[in-house]
Structure formats: structure tokens, C-alpha cells
Amino acid sequence: KKAAAPKLADPIAATIDPASQEMIARAQKMGIDTVFDRAVQMKPCNIGIQGICCKNCAMGPCRLPLPKGGIEGEDTRKGLCGATANTIAARNFIRMIAGGASAHSDHGRCVAEVFMSAARKETEAYKIKDTNKLLQIAPWLEVATTVEEDGEVKDRDIDEIALEVAEKALNEWGKYEGELLFAKRAPAPLYEKWKKNGVIPRNIDREIVEIMHRTHMGVDQDYKNLMKQGTRAAIADGWGGSMLATDLQDVLFGTPYPLQSEANLGVMKEDHVNIVVHGHEPVLSEMIVAVSQKPEIIEYAKSKGAKGIQLSGICCTANEILQRHGIPSATTFLSQELAIITGACDAMVVDIQCIMQNLANVAKCFHTKLITTHPIAKMEQDNVIHIEFDEHYALEDAEKIVKMGIDNFANRGSEVMIPRHKCTQVAGFGVESIQYHLGGTFRGNYYTLNDNIINGRIRGIAGVVGCNNARNRHNEAHIEVVKELIKNDVIVLTTGCNGIACAMEGLLTPEAAAVHCGPGLAEVCEVVGIPPVLHLGSCVDNSRILLAATEVVKAGGLGKDICDLPAAGSAPEWMSEKAISIGHYFVASGMYTVFGVTLPTSGAPVFHNYISDELEKIYGGKWDIEPDPIKHAQMMIAHIDKKRKELGIDK
């Protein structure tokens, strides 16, 4: 008897993106499975989804029964050791924070190590590019920028400052006394709240390690105490590892400023060598950009029959090189396999995080060279090529990779099919450019962000970020949440795959304001010439949202702390542990934060209530969950309106 054919995804139901729909249908026709099909074939575990499966020892996994219709009376559910639903959910939740914080922070550490090489002048490839940014961050790391000589105050030598910044930055991961230096960048009342509650990180690594210890069988069994450690580690991520990654990348590669580019699979070109970079760390991709623009390399590509080299990106490596060089974004996380399905991807170069192992299986069906580059992120499949990147030979490594892509151009089959869909985008925003474009300051004239929030043209600020999730229709929640917000005059700061999704939908253009925004936000965007959705970069660049909120607070007129602002955070299609860490440092920084899909807390209602209502009493921010995108956005708007009322600006 023949086995039934596996059920396949309906491309239209799987994604709102027409380019992805075409490529899913094509993959199915070719008999190649993608994540969209696998999501139809494999359903998630209903107990795991609710956060109440514990596998922290070999007496389990202990799968607690679901609280059908809520818990009546005493909650007597427990694992073999007696761990309650709250303990199990809290342990799982903070282990996710540890996973996310370690990913961002290890990325930051790698950048700090490259920064050290540059400061020591051990490498030709990396230089201190943005000295203004260096001078801006040095005092926060307790590095002097001036020196007194013969009674005169003089500027200190830039190389000396860079070296000391590198030392101080690297020290943040493992120093044995003191506290995270960047914690003081937060508004003073927030810093004081953290201090009072004992959650200022001691060093980045320690907070992550301590989560692993506390959640080991038989250690911390108080969900409040577990969350205290989760909070400390999340702050170590947002205001530590991620913020250091962003700042040091800006110093090495330049602070982004607005620029124009494009997004979606249509950016790939049939007659060019297509190299797609994917992952998160920009240290190698910066070099790939540099090499692929060299005249002799372009000539080499032409000698192999191509018209040139088309570089594009997926996930946050895409965001990094988009922000600084205008390299177009090919697609988001969920549709990564589809870039290979085009048949035009000559090389896909991956570094760390959000890389699906199935890329290797898809690449096997085409001529695509799949190249891993990071010692901590290899793949087992035998068609994957590993070229380990070494910052001391960065340009040589990048040249080897780009040439491999060029040499592979001739190996394409006849199966090239690039969807035509792509949109223009204006990206490259940051705290500096928000200030520059909106009146040159945050408060004090007709154009500024604060003045426009106070006068009500802009109702509030939303940070909408995060991944895709195969349990949702791809990009749908991202776009509906963002459209609902801007329709209601809420300006959106975006990062990660939300940024790419918005770009694919054409929301990152000044012209989008007239089409999609309420009258107030449309007027501001038109006057200053910005899109209603400002792309602030990659996952680690969520730290830019923290700093933007801090600048808004400092500029005055909107309260004294981040929790006073008419602002809210959102991750409509989250999937990664990093999103939980980001969500929690938003909450611990005072931000009302709504997640889509689901939260692994619903099986432990007391714990869920703790991270929403109880944490709000401590930090001013709270977790919330709403899968329906319109309701999700409306909850954010209701919070913004509540804050406007409290500020007395609700006219």
C-alpha cells in the first residue's frame, strides 16, 4: 500500500508576500520541502507551548496537566520533585532569557574582540571609523577623552582612547566587581528602581551563568526570585551586550544615516552573481561588501559571464549592511529557504543565529554553495562548505568567499526563476538621525519628536520588532500591527525581521505616510520627509530604541522615566529566545510590551500575572499577549492614550 503524500502548505494561506507565495509553490512543484510545509505537517506540543513541561532532570520530563478553564482553588499540580507550575514556567522563561541574552552578548563580545584588534592595529581590515561615536561612548565606559598637561586640558590621543575603550568594553563580560557601566545611561529614576530591586547586572556572563545554575534541578524554587535573575540578565543584554555590540559596530563601521535601498526576492538579478549573506554579525559581511565592490573583483565576475555582483541579505546581517551601505534585503527569517529556490543564489554565506539547518537540504537541490563561516555555527550536511573567518585575515577570507560565489555562477542550471516583487525602502535610522531629521533636537521647535507628541500630531511611539513564526501567516501580523499603529498616528521604530517585512510592504518610504497614516503623523512625515516607520537596524539595535526612549525622556515634557512615555513595544510574530530577552528588557525598562503568537506562561496563570501586573508595579512595564494583530495594536494604543492622559496631554 502506498503511503499517503505529506500534506503541503497552501502558499496563499502561508504568507502574505507574493514573492514567497510564488517560491513556495515552486518548491512544492520541485518536491522540495520548506518550513511552510513542515509547519503543516508537525504541530507543536500543547504542554510545552504553555510553559509547563520541565526537563531539567532525568526523572522527567514532567508534563503538568493543562489548567482547563483556569485553576479552581489551590493549584496542586507538581512535577516529581514537587516543582509547581509557577516554578517550572519561570525556570523555562528565564532559560529563554539566558539563551537570548547569550546570543546577543556573544555577538557583542565578538565585535569587542575585533574592536580590540583594530585598536591594537593588528588588522588592516578594521579601523576606527567613527571617532565621534567613540568619543560619545568613552565617558560611559569611564574612559577619559581629555588629559591635563602643564595646567592645560587637551584632547586625548584617539588611539589611546580606542584601546582603553576596548579594554573596558571587554571587561564588561567578566569583571569580578562593580556593576554594568551602561546601566547609568538609563534615565536616573529607572537606574534607581533597578538599584533598589537589586537587578543591576554585575557582569554580562555572570548573569547568564547564574540563570543556568538557579534553574538546575533543586536550586531556586521561587518564581519571583527566578524572575529577579531573569530581569538582571535581560538588562545585561539590552543595556550591556546588545548596546556594546551596537556602539562598537558604529565606531568600527560607521553610525548609520538614512539611505535608499530595496527589499524582497526581486532584488536578486538573473544576470549577476547573487551572493546572499544571512545571520547576525556584521564583522564578516562588512568585508564581503568591501570586496564585492572592488573593481578587480567586479571584473573577475564579468570574466565569468556575469554583468556584476548582486549582494543581498537575510535576517539581521541584512539589516546591518542595509543600514550602513544600502545593500538590499532579500527576505525575512521565515522565507530564507526561498532565496535558494530562485535557482539564482550562487552563494549563501551564513554566520550565526536564525539560520535554518534545512538550508543545506535545499541547497543540495540547486547549484548554491552554502558557506558557514563561524566556529560556533557549523552544519552536519556534507554539501556545506566551512570557511572559518579570522579577523586578522578578514579581507582574504571575504575574497575567497566572494570568488567562490563568482566561480559558481557558471554552474547554474536552467531553473532560474526570480520573483519580480520588490519595494523601495529608506532605512538607516538611529538616535542621531531621528534627532537630526526631526528638528535637530528632541524638544524646542515645531519639528521635534517631543513637541509633536505633546501637541498630539504624533500620538505616541511604538517599537515593533522581532521574528517570523511559522505558526502565523508569514508577515501578516507584522504588517497589520504596524498599519494599525500608523493609521492611529503612532510613529513606529522597527528592527529585525519586522523591519524587513515593513520594507517588503513599502512602509519604509516617506510616500507611505500619505497612504497609510492618520493626519497628524502624515503631516509630520511630510514636513520633515521621513517614513512613518523608521528602521533602526538589527536585533542588537533594539538598544537604539532604549536610547531613543531615554533621549525623549531627557528632553523633557513627557515625564521623568521611560514608563511615563506614551510608548509601547511589540513583537507580533516572535519565535526566538532572543525575542524573550528583548521583551523582558523592554518590560524591565518600563515599556508596556505585547507579544503575538503565544507566550509560554499560559499554563501557570499566577506566574503570568506576576510578569504582567506585578512587574508593572515594580518597573512600570509589563508583558501582555494578543495574537490578533488589530486587537494587539489597539492594546498598545490604549496604553499610549492612558499615558497621554497621565501626562495631561490628551486633548
- List of residues contacting ligand SF4 (CB under 6 A): 54-57, 59-62, 79-81, 83, 88, 217
Q: Please say which residue, 250 or 399, places its beta carbon nearer to ligand MSK.
A: 250
Q: Please say which residue, 483 or 578, places its beta carbon nearer to ligand MSK.
A: 578
Residue 54's binding partner among ligand SF4, ligand MSK, none (Cβ under 5 to 8 angstroms by kind) is ligand SF4
Query: Pairing between strand 329-331 and 384-386?
Result: unpaired
Contact call for residue 569 and ligand MSK (CB under 6 A): no
Least Å from the CB of residue 401 to ligand MSK = 21
Say how far apart CA 474 and CA 455 lie, in whole Å. Answer: 36
DSSP 300-338: HHHHTT-S-EEEEEEHHHHHHHHHHH-PPEEE-STTHHH
Least Å from the CB of residue 224 to ligand MSK = 28
Least Å from the CB of residue 234 to ligand SF4 = 23
Say how far apart CA 386 and CA 379 lie, in whole Å. Answer: 9
Least Å from the CB of residue 542 to ligand MSK = 10
CA 443 to chain centre: 28
Contact call for residue 354 and ligand MSK (CB under 6 A): yes
- Residue 7 contacts by C-beta under 8 Å, 6 or more apart in sequence? 37, 40, 41
Least Å from the CB of residue 48 to ligand SF4 = 13
Say how far apart CA 348 and CA 485 lie, in whole Å. Answer: 35
Q: Please say which residue, 48 or 557, places its beta carbon nearer to ligand SF4.
A: 48
Q: Please say which residue, 57 or 212, places its beta carbon nearer to ligand SF4.
A: 57
Query: Which residue, 489, 495, 506, 502, is CA-closest to 464?
Result: 495
Contact call for residue 316 and ligand MSK (CB under 6 A): yes
Q: Answer whether 389's CB lies under 8 Å from 397's CB.
A: yes
Write the burial class of residue 143 (CB in 10 Å: 0-12 exposed, 13-18 middle, 19+ buried). buried
Least Å from the CB of residue 58 to ligand SF4 = 7
Residue 333's binding partner among ligand MSK, ligand SF4, none (Cβ under 5 to 8 angstroms by kind) is ligand MSK
Residue 497's binding partner among ligand MSK, ligand SF4, none (Cβ under 5 to 8 angstroms by kind) is ligand MSK
Least Å from the CB of residue 247 to ligand MSK = 18
Q: Please say which residue, 86 or 448, places its beta carbon nearer to ligand SF4.
A: 86
Three-state secondary-structure class, residue 568: strand
List Cα–Cα distances, 530 to 148, 500, 513, in angstroms: 43, 17, 8
DSSP 396-462: HHHHHHHHHHHHHGGG--S--------EEEEE---HHHHHHHTTTSSSSSTT-HHHHHHTTSS-EEE
Q: Please say which residue, 85 or 508, places its beta carbon nearer to ligand SF4.
A: 85
Contact call for residue 572 and ligand MSK (CB under 6 A): no
Q: Please say which residue, 248 or 563, places its beta carbon nearer to ligand MSK.
A: 248
Q: Answer whether 643's CB lies under 8 Å from 549's CB.
A: no
Q: Given candidates 333, 592, 595, 607, which one binds ligand MSK under the rule CB under 6 A?
A: 333
Q: Please say which residue, 315 or 362, places its beta carbon nearer to ligand MSK.
A: 315
- Residue 303 contacts by C-beta under 8 Å, 6 or more apart in sequence? none
Contact call for residue 338 and ligand MSK (CB under 6 A): no
Binding to ligand MSK, residues 453-512 (CB under 6 A): 466-467, 496-497
List contacts with ligand MSK (CB under 6 A).
Answer: 280, 315-316, 333, 354, 466-467, 496-497, 538-539, 576, 578
